[in-house]
Amino acid sequence: MKGIESCIYVQREICERPSIILMDKNLFKNIFLRESYLKVLVNQDFKETGLSKSYYYYILDKLKKSNLINENNKLNFTIVVAYKLDDKDFSIKFEPILVFLSIKRKILYIFDIRKKCFLDEEILKELGKDGKGKKEYSCRNIIENIYKIVSEHIIDKGVIYVQ
């Protein structure tokens, strides 16, 4: 996946208990690299997307099947991490591109950890605190925090939604 970065205002409602989603790299690319899918993801009303009504609802159904949007048409995640299965090592490898949904700011941010991070300070505050409340604003620390959150979620809940 070549580097992508986007910062998109979210008009769709967010559910009360959004989750962390691990998503296969190919599905991740199909959703987050396609403008039409991003438009449906962040817009509650098809009229705002510029898409036909039937195409909007077709994509909406796909997003629901991938668990990004729940049955009430609300966003169902805070973080989406792309992964790929490594057959050689029998392991799951995280891809360097992540999606973060800022619940406070209602901004969907897609960022590539291989590039410099140009994140809004409020998003950095939401993502970048270590366990002691100290601000850590480097992109590397933010990614480490996200992976730590994912790992803790798996340990705590025993399961994480994987698509």
Cα R_g (the chain), whole angstroms: 16
What's the pLDDT score for residue 1? Answer: 44
Dist CA 75 CA 93 (whole Å): 25
The two three-digit tokens of residue 15, written as one number:
């559910």
Dist CA 34 CA 59 (whole Å): 11
Average pLDDT of adjacent 10-residue blocks, the chain of 163 residues: 69 92 92 95 96 98 96 93 85 84 85 67 58 53 72 67 57
The two three-digit tokens of residue 106, written as one number:
């209602």
> How far is C-alpha 51 from the chain's CA centre?
22
Dist CA 1 CA 84 (whole Å): 12
- Residue 145: which of 127, 132, 157 has the closest Cα? 127
What's the pLDDT score for residue 73? Answer: 97
Q: Which amino acid is it at 27?
A: L
C-alpha distances out from residue 114 to 3, 45, 59, 143, Å: 8, 34, 29, 11
What's the pLDDT score for residue 20? Answer: 85
Structure-derived torsion over alpha carbons of residues 6, 78, 103, 146, reported in degrees to the nearest 10? -80
C-alpha distances out from residue 44 to 3, 50, 120, Å: 27, 12, 24
What's the pLDDT score for residue 98? Answer: 84
